[in-house]
A and B are shown apart, each in its own frame.
Chain A
Amino acid sequence: MNAWIVTYLPLLGAALLNCGFAISQYIVMRAGVFSVATAGYASLGAYTAATLTMRYGVPPPLALLASALVGALTGGILSIPLARLRGVFQAIATLAFVQIVMSLALFSDRLTGGAMGMNGIPQVVQWPHLLIYVVALVYLISALGGSSIGRVFDTARQDETVAVSLGMSVTRYHALAFALSGAVGGLTGGFYAFYLHSITPDQFGFALLVTTLAAVVLGGRVSVAGPIVGAAIMTFLPELARPLAEQRYLLNGALLMIAIIYLPEGIVDTVKYKLEQRKLTRASLNGAGGRHATSER
């Protein structure tokens, strides 16, 4: 048992980090924004944390705070021009953002170490820290999702015109979603740097973008459990299928296609919907007699 834990501990860390990224992606998608900028926030957060601690001697907790701030600021600034765009165009613009961040990180090698990246970042984060971080994050986000903010997000996602007609400022809530997503992405990026103690620009490229997106698509976009389940699947499935290591991409691709074709709402949200439907039919069957009549009065 002990040996098993030691073998799979690095995987647990990876799963927790993926959870963080997936939640960052989930926040924007719940608000109906098709942004894929999480990889860019992660890159900025990771480099902020690494640079501050290694070059300026900032204590790691402060550096993490700075990562979150940088992410939130970037997200907030990004939301201003992107308020004009919708759907696929948002996706392209944020993809461009991710590419810009990556190529700038490659280019400014005096600050970031270029393609070699930064090594020897103090390893101050262990998996228990990550666990605490993700649990706190899930609590915060689900509390936020249950508040009026979550309801506005849901309305804006399902029908923007309705949201506007009900007097909700969709632009402002989208900006909030961008900033929140940026904060979570940046903070998780900072944790990433302190946990893996070595970062390179291409770790935050198209591959991370796709894994993160896939986690949310697989898990679901409405409940907070969605990105967690999705991230867990995206982390553990390739390991379970280790004999098929060659087919890792094949497996991920097939999973993504099957999920979007047969479970378009994601695993968690589909199951939740089915359970609710069953509860409703049961309730209406049980109360088919008098209770219905009285409630009419």
Chain B
Amino acid sequence: MLLQQLLNGLVTGCIYAVFALGFTLIFGVHRVLNLAHGTVCTWGALFGLLLVSPNAIIDGAPLTLLPLPLAIVGAALGAGLLGIVLDFIAFRPLRRRRASEFSALVSSIGASFILLSLAQQFTRTAILRFPFGTFPIHVYRFAGLRLSLLQLLMIGLAIVLPILVGFYLYRTNFGRQVRAVAINENTARLLGVNPAAVYLQIFFISGALAGVVGVMIGLAFNSINFMMGESYLLRSFVVVVLGGLGSISGAVVAGLVLGVIQNLTDVYLSTGLSDAIIFSILFVILLVRPTGFFRGLQQDVRVVRA
């Protein structure tokens, strides 16, 4: 029983990990909390649903369009492009003015409201579902544990996607440019890096990750509504602070830890308490170790007054 709960918690944690990965990436490079990340995730789920079964959203559209794997890729592309649009509208004008991180935060809240409202109108405030049988239901049993194929896929994604992002950041030329901009944009510019291109890539990758997570959440809980990304956004604050803002390995480990904590509180204490406990953890970590437990893309984090 305890082992099964731990396993379920780890699977929940996988979703948190991938969600927080995109969130922490933007902070690591741009030093901006992108509060629109949750709505990008929602839109990713909507794109996925639209590609699998347009009929679920638009009346009179074909019942099925693409198989699920292609739809996931499509959702990632769509959400990635949405991320780029977000960068152009909400962050680029502020970057040009060298505005404070506060301005960028407020601007992302505004953008998130706009996307949220559009999602609400697009879905007509209804709760949508992937058609039955979109994802085959297989349950594997071993050593008394149950694990569905979908959960296996989530675990796989939480392993593969961070490795891909890590490879991109630490083993490719593009990644070197990204890290250079993360450390110091002006120096990077002097060395011939084009920061605009870096931001474009980062916002695309972050959006694409959110899109994949959106489809996963939609499949796992069999419900897609316009608010679905918001609760994950608040949770991902905890993940990124626990792991260290801007850290990839931190986001993954902290995501898993958070998933397990939440599941255990839900089962053994009370569902009502899990939020209080999770956010108390966030509060305590911010006080004890505001830089988190892993290093980010930059080593210094301006948390404590100089």
Contact = CB atoms under 8 A, between A and B. Distances in A.
A214 B102 CA distance: 12
A210 B303 contact: no
B238 to A, nearest CB: 8
A217 B113 CA distance: 15
A103 interface: yes
B33 A103 contact: no
B287 A81 contact: yes
A25 to B, nearest CB: 12
Interface of B: 31, 33, 89-90, 93-94, 97, 99, 101-103, 105-107, 109-118, 120-121, 230, 234, 237-238, 241, 270, 272-273, 275-276, 279-280, 282-283, 286-287, 290, 302-306
Nearest to B93: A261
A237 interface: no
A107 B286 contact: no
Nearest to B115: A253
A35 B140 CA distance: 48
A99 B120 CA distance: 24
Contact of A84 (B93, B272, B283, B290): B290
Interface string A103-143: 11011000000000000000000000000000000000000
Given A85-B290, A89-B303, 15 more contacts: A81-B283, A85-B286, A85-B303, A85-B304, A92-B282, A93-B286, A95-B234, A97-B283, A99-B234, A99-B276, A107-B276, A210-B109, A246-B117, A250-B113, A254-B110
B286 A249 contact: no
A290 interface: no
A178 interface: no
B24 to A, nearest CB: 13
A86 B100 CA distance: 13
A95 B233 CA distance: 12
9 contacts: A86-B302, A89-B290, A91-B33, A206-B230, A246-B121, A249-B116, A252-B110, A260-B103, A264-B99
A249 B115 CA distance: 9
Nearest to B283: A96
Given A100-B276, A260-B107, A264-B97, A249 B113 contact: yes
A286 to B, nearest CB: 33
A196 interface: no
Interface string A59-78: 00000000000000000000
A261 B102 CA distance: 12
B272 A103 contact: yes
A93 B33 CA distance: 13
Contacts of B106: 213-214, 217, 256, 260
Contacts of B113: 210, 249-250, 252-253, 256
A256 B110 contact: yes
A197 interface: no
Given A100-B280, A252-B113, A255-B110, A107 B272 contact: yes
Given A248-B117, A250-B117, A253-B110, A95 B103 contact: no
A277 interface: no
A97 B279 CA distance: 7
B286 A96 contact: yes
A175 B235 CA distance: 28
A97 B303 CA distance: 18
B237 A257 contact: no
A215 B250 CA distance: 35
A34 interface: yes
A86 B286 CA distance: 11
B102 A34 contact: yes
A256 B107 contact: yes
Contact of A250 (B114, B234, B306): B114
Contacts of A241: none
B286 A89 contact: yes
Nearest to A170: B305
B273 A103 contact: yes
The list of the 9 closest CB pairs from A to B, nearest first, reads A253-B113, A256-B110, A257-B110, A103-B275, A249-B117, A250-B117, A253-B114, A107-B272, A103-B276
B114 to A, nearest CB: 4
Given A89-B290, A213-B106, A253-B111, A84 B279 contact: no
Contacts of A160: 305
B114 A257 contact: yes
B217 to A, nearest CB: 19
